[in-house]
Structure 1
Amino acid sequence: MGEEWSAVGCARLGLLLFLCVCPDHAVNPSGSSPAIATDCTQIKQLNPGAGSGVYTIKPAGFSGFFQVYCEMLPDGGWTVFQRRTGGALSFRENWAAYKHGFGKPRYDHWLGLEKLRALTTSRGRQWVLRVDLWDFEGGSAFAEYQGFKLGNEKQAYKLRVGAYRGTAGDAIRGAYPGINQNGYGFSTKDRDNDGCSPCIFGDIAEDSCSLDEGGGGWWYSRCGSASLHGDWHAAGENVGWASGLHWNTWKGPAPYSMRATRMMVKAVVAQ
């Protein structure tokens, strides 16, 4: 009996330990061996008990593996592609950095436009975008968009989103007419794809939304009311800045920079 436990029981214990402490791999429901999934939604489907953490994935058609943070929620597995919780990681990056990504998945980071596009171009599935926001007063809000997709690099990773639901307001389409960011390409401080040439706001002319809003990359239009890649501002110093983490349909009228943000996507069956 003791020898049987030594041979079989230890193997089971080892498997349990693997499942508990090694979330860097997706695991088959049977627990037979690690399996690389295409995204966090698939990981959750294969292993409903999977916990939130860093996993290795390989989207179909992508040339290599990469790590992502999976937020495992009751409604499925969400792949996090942006997180901001403080000012330690600067988002004042150029086109190449936004294309390939920066930061670490477990902490503040940007996954990268090329990885995000590869992740969300799977046949037979559509994607939901979720934006989570936290303020400095203990409040939180979210925005979800059906039909999230990106164009390729030649199209400047043009943003497309469908129907909105949430509590933060539809800042992508704008707090007022004429600043809809849906359908615009991504802009950085060294590659301008916004709709300003220039934009006139009162007596101020803006040629580059990225430069004028903190040097971060985003899907600017004229310039828009959503922009989560400006400078992070601490409590008590987070109101009134043109640069900041802005979602102007939730906070205002003065520019309000968020305490924390998270952006993530989840796959759903195409209708």
Structure 2
Amino acid sequence: MGGLSGWSGSMLTLLLIYMQTGGGSGNTAAPPDCSFIPNGASGVYTIQPAGFRYSFQAYCEMGANGVWTVIQKRTGGAVAFDREWAAYKNGFGFASWDHWLGLEKISVMTKSKRWKLRVDLWDFEGGSAYAEYDDFRVGDESTNYRLSVGRYRGTAGDAIRGAYPGINQIGFGFSTFDRDNDGCDPCLFGDILVGKCTEYERGGWWYSKCGSASLNGDWHPKGQHIGWSTGLHWGTWNGPAPYSAKATRMMITPM
């Protein structure tokens, strides 16, 4: 019995050491974002932003212009983006492929410091463009994950502030088909009356009557990518007819 008691005590001691050094489910060893992963190759890493309840996987893009945490990626139509509020809140898809990281994760990350947002766009003709914004931030759920961005630079145009008057998306909450925060009551586009931008453009986004940026709508293949109200749209790029991008990526890095 004494041997068994001693063995039990040893196992308890080892268990306590394991938990104290981060071996349990509350592991705090994961970096808070991709910028804490130096000299690595682009790929999927485990991160845990300060104040977030658990660690999760994110794609880290290591490039000449910095280390970025990818929050959205589209390369085709296999992953559906026409989803409900809960899906956009928590995230969906595959970190190594097409995905949306999750509004709650993005909100917690962007509370801690100043961030830069980069939007990359690729067209079907072999071209590309980008838009960068200083001071990117997403509010918490009580604000409907309200969007805030600062100064723009890039080659794609400032579609968040809008290609047309009155559709600035800054300060608007996020909308999905089951949670409407788009400011349309209703909106009129020519002879089309729109009650919800998610019905007109599809997907979840920071819609504003309905706005000229929307990268989470339906993906359209080559030959069917021009002229749709739905699509991966950046209205200040490849117009004047609505142009649905071949691929998109959104990613953030500390300023």
Q: Which TM-score bucket, shorter chain as reference?
A: 0.7 to 0.9
Match of 1:239 among 216, 226, 232: 226
In the alignment, the residues of structure 2 paired with residue 244 and residue 63 of structure 1 have an alpha-carbon distance, to the nearest angstrom, of: 34
Partner of 1:199: 187
Q: Are the structure 2 counterparts of residues 154 and 35 from structure 1 closer, same or farther at C-alpha, using a change threshold of 3 Å?
A: closer
1:254 is the counterpart of 2:241: yes
Cα distance per residue 1:21-56 (max 9 Å; x no partner): xxxxxxxxxxxxx9421001122xxx2x21100000
SS at the partner of 1:176?
coil
Match of 1:108 among 81, 98, 101: 98
- Give the drift of 1:75: 2.5
1:177 is the counterpart of 2:165: yes
Amino acid corresponding to residue 217 of structure 1 in structure 2: G
Q: Unpaired segments of 5 or more residues in structure 1?
A: 1-33
Match of 1:149 among 119, 126, 137: 137
TM-score scaled to structure 1, two decimals?
A: 0.83
- Give the drift of 1:119: 1.4
SS at the partner of 1:120?
helix
Partner of 1:229: 216
Cα distance per residue 1:234-256 (max 9 Å; x no partner): 00111111100000101111111
Count of residue pairs the alignment pairs up: 228
Cα distance per residue 1:181-202 (max 9 Å; x no partner): 1110000000000010001112
Partner of 1:139: 127
1:95 is the counterpart of 2:85: yes
In the alignment, the residues of structure 2 paired with residue 132 and residue 50 of structure 1 have an alpha-carbon distance, to the nearest angstrom, of: 21
Match of 2:40 among 43, 50, 72: 50
In the alignment, the residues of structure 1 paired with residue 62 and residue 110 of structure 2 have an alpha-carbon distance, to the nearest angstrom, of: 18
Partner of 1:41: 35
Partner of 2:70: 80
Cα distance per residue 1:203-231 (max 9 Å; x no partner): 211110011112x0000001000001111
In the alignment, the residues of structure 2 paired with residue 209 and residue 98 of structure 1 have an alpha-carbon distance, to the nearest angstrom, of: 16
Partner of 2:11: none
Partner of 1:66: 56
Amino acid corresponding to residue 233 of structure 2 in structure 1: H
Cα distance per residue 1:144-189 (max 9 Å; x no partner): 0000001110100000000000000000000021110111000000
Amino acid corresponding to residue 142 of structure 2 in structure 1: K
